[in-house]
Each structure stands twice: as structure tokens, then as C-alpha cells.
Copies of this chain bind each other. A is one copy, B any other.
Amino acid sequence: MPDDNWLSAIKFDEDGLVPAIAQDRDSGRVLMVGWMNRQSLATTVESGLATYWSRSRAALWRKGEQSGHFQQVHEVQLDCDGDVLILKITQGGGIACHTGRESCFFRILRDGEWVTVDPVIRDPQEIYGDD
């Protein structure tokens, strides 16, 4: 029986989920936030590849399974309340966002407007195809 005591320190919400912040290990940039349940976190730690829970598809989702942009996980951090995770990662392809940008956080509030500050590195249609 695998020792998974460490999982019991995590306070999953009423849906069995916690937010997981994917942060570039080298630059410190926050690239995306996904959700994890117990199984996706265990899979992430076992495999070393970030595996989230897709709330829209209600399924395990290994980041990169469609795009090829996997996330190699170097470290997992837990906060004081046990209800938020940080993954220190290396982002395959340098693209975390489904819009083809490095980070999902590409909008900054300036004078009451959201300004897009990051370029699209690769056309999402090229990454994901037409479907």
C-alpha cells in the first residue's frame, strides 16, 4: 500500500478540489491555475507531469495531452491552510495558455481597462487543430 499520508494534509473543497498554481521554476512567472482532485495530484507526483482535473470535462487532464506542451513538475508547495498548491514547473514549448501565449495571465489592469501585454507565440489552431 503506498504511503499517501501527505495527501491527507490537503483540504479539498466540497467538490473534492483545490486550486494549483503552475509557476515557472526559473522566472517565477505564474503561468496558469488549474484544479486538482486527490487522484490528479497523486498522478502528478507519481508521473512528474502536471495532471489537473478538468471541471468542464469532468475528467483527468494531463496538461499537454493535446498540445504536446507538458509541464514537468520539480516541486509541490502547500499553503498554511492546506487548500492551495503551487507547482514549480518547466513549461514544455514555453506555452501554457490555450490562447498560444506563455502565460494565461496576459491581461493587466491599466486606467480602468484590461490591456493585453503578451504576444501569441503560436496560433492555437496550429496547436490544437480545427476541432
Contacts and interface: CB of A to CB of B under 8 A. Distances in A.
Chain A interface mostly: mixed
A84 B104 CA distance: 10
Contacts of A21: 21, 30, 33
A121 interface: no
A77 B3 CA distance: 39
B109 A81 contact: no
A79 B27 contact: no
Contacts of A105: 77-79, 84, 86
Contacts of A5: 112-113
B107 A33 contact: no
A100 to B, nearest CB: 10
